[in-house]
Amino acid sequence: MTTTSQRTAGTTGHGRMSLAGVLGAVLGSSLPLRLTAYDGSATGPEEALGFDLLTPRGTRYLATAPGELGLVRAYVAGDLELRGVHPGDPYPLLRALGDAEVPRPPARVLAEVVRSLGAESFRPVPPPPQEVQPRWRRTVSGLRHSRTRDAEAIAHHYDVSNTFYGFVLGPSMTYTCACYPAPDATLEQAQENKYRLVFEKLRLQPGQRLLDVGCGWGGMVRYAARRGVRATGVTLSAEQAAWAQQAVVDEGLEDLAEVRHGDYRDVVAGGFDAVSSIGLTEHIGVGNYPAYFAFLRSLLRTGGLLLNHSITRPDNRRAAPTKGFIDRYVFPDGEMTGSGRIITEAQDAGLEVLHEENLRPHYALTLRDWCANLVEHWDEAVAEVGLGTAKVWGLYMAGSRLGFERDVVQLHQVLAVRTDGHGGGTDLPLRPWWTA
């Protein structure tokens, strides 16, 4: 018979790992976390942050997908609970783990897990409905970044629920990095400041024409239209387009603003004074950058300005796609590289790069405030989209906050101009003309 003291250790009386010990092995962490399991085993200080393994199905998730993906499946499905944190903002627990990504245990540890759990625990369990198929299975919808597959990926992430996004994003309905004018600024002030910064960088004046590709809920479009600019937005999300166009009508901006549901590559009109791309580049694929920048350049008049605002990696050595939790639950087919690659592709497409800056710390603050909104509206958010989806969002945003704080990812704005091919055709000031 197993004694109480044995149940609180990482092994059982038979020399095998307890379920709490298995959970610790999967986490791969020696930090003082509290881990408990339904077999009565526990490890770590009672007052510490940690995890509670609740069901045999949770064990099977951990066994069949050891590492990050198994933990996420068990958590989203309700078989694993977080200790000491709110599911809308598990940032403190992720920070205690030391990294938002949990590594796959080494072969020696996996062998010990197998011996301890037995063969039955390795019978696969269907993943939660929030998880999309692996990349190799998605080829039935076309090659990565085909129009059909891009539309499906965008719908997975952005067509969750406009009401749910309102709970998370707040009144601005802006799902991109804010720019905080001061550390104590509110999220709404910071988002307004971001639009102001983009508007000023693009030197927009009343009567000019702006195209905003990947326009989301139309925040940039309406900001520009309120200042007399004729603005057109395009988004692949049907729910975003419907909400944004109604917001245009509600503000009485129909004569100046329009939001279309469609692919940015279907825009046929040219001669725009400015193009803004705020949060689109992450979705188009690094291999498509040459065509992307060439197409945006073709839409600009000579002297027209492009502002590209996107999440990047901190180096240019790789152009790897997202994987694991982010790819299967959040951004299917997402792909990022460094800001240097973005600048290179813009230049090679015939655009002259004028300025770039990194807003990485601002995105960490943005995610902090989005998590706070989700916590505040947790019950309504769960009622709107379900507990599993709400958990995914809390985990994703808190993990992303940690990533921006630790320079795992960055956020760069790149400003470029279309010249006549010989550096002419522009009348730009000698120094930056916008305020910080």
Are 45 and 189 within one domain? no
Q: Pick from 311, 316, 400: which is nearest to 359 by CA?
A: 311
Domain count, the chain: 2
The model carries a pTM of 0.90
Are 387 and 270 within one domain? yes
Are 118 and 227 within one domain? no
Domain that holds residue 410: 151-418
Are 157 and 266 within one domain? yes
Count CB atoms within 10 A of the CB of residue 382.
Answer: 18
Are 93 and 179 within one domain? no
Residue 220 CA: distances (Å) to CA of 38, 164, 189, 203, 306: 50, 20, 14, 14, 14
Q: Is the pLDDT of residue 433 over 70?
A: yes
Are 28 and 163 within one domain? no
Whether residue 135 is contained in a domain is answered as: no
Chain centroid to CA 163: 18
Are 356 and 271 within one domain? yes
Are 157 and 82 within one domain? no
Are 156 and 54 within one domain? no
Whether residue 142 is contained in a domain is answered as: no
10 Å CB burial of residue 106 (0-12, 13-18, 19+) is: exposed
Q: Is the pLDDT of residue 307 over 80?
A: yes
Contact 278, 306 (CB under 8 A): no
Contact 231, 257 (CB under 8 A): yes
Whether residue 436 is contained in a domain is answered as: no
Whether residue 403 is contained in a domain is answered as: yes
Contact 295, 280 (CB under 8 A): no
Whether residue 33 is contained in a domain is answered as: yes
167: left (phi over 0), alpha (psi -120 to 50) or beta: alpha
What is the per-residue pLDDT across 89-118, written as a single tens digit (0 to 9) for each? 999 999 998 754 666 667 777 677 777 777
What is the per-residue pLDDT across 29-69, written as a single tens digit (0 to 9) for each? 677 899 999 999 999 999 999 999 999 999 999 888 878 89
Check which CATH number belongs to the domain holding 299 and give it.
3.40.50.150
Are 365 and 407 within one domain? yes
Tell me the DSSP string of 296-350: HHHHEEEEEEEEEEEEEBS-SS--PBP-HHIIIII-TT-B--BHHHHHHHHHHTT
What is the per-residue pLDDT across 409-428, written as a single tens digit (0 to 9) for each? 999 999 999 999 888 888 89
Whether residue 130 is contained in a domain is answered as: no
Whether residue 433 is contained in a domain is answered as: no
Whether residue 133 is contained in a domain is answered as: no
Q: Is the pLDDT of residue 164 over 50?
A: yes
In the chain, the N- to C-terminal Cα span, in Å, equals 68
Are 167 and 60 within one domain? no
Tell me the DSSP string of 128-167: PTTPPPPGGGGGGG-STT-HHHHHHHHHHHH-S-HHHHHH
Phi, psi of 350 (to 5 degrees): 95, 15
Specify the 3-state DSSP secondary structure of 231.
strand
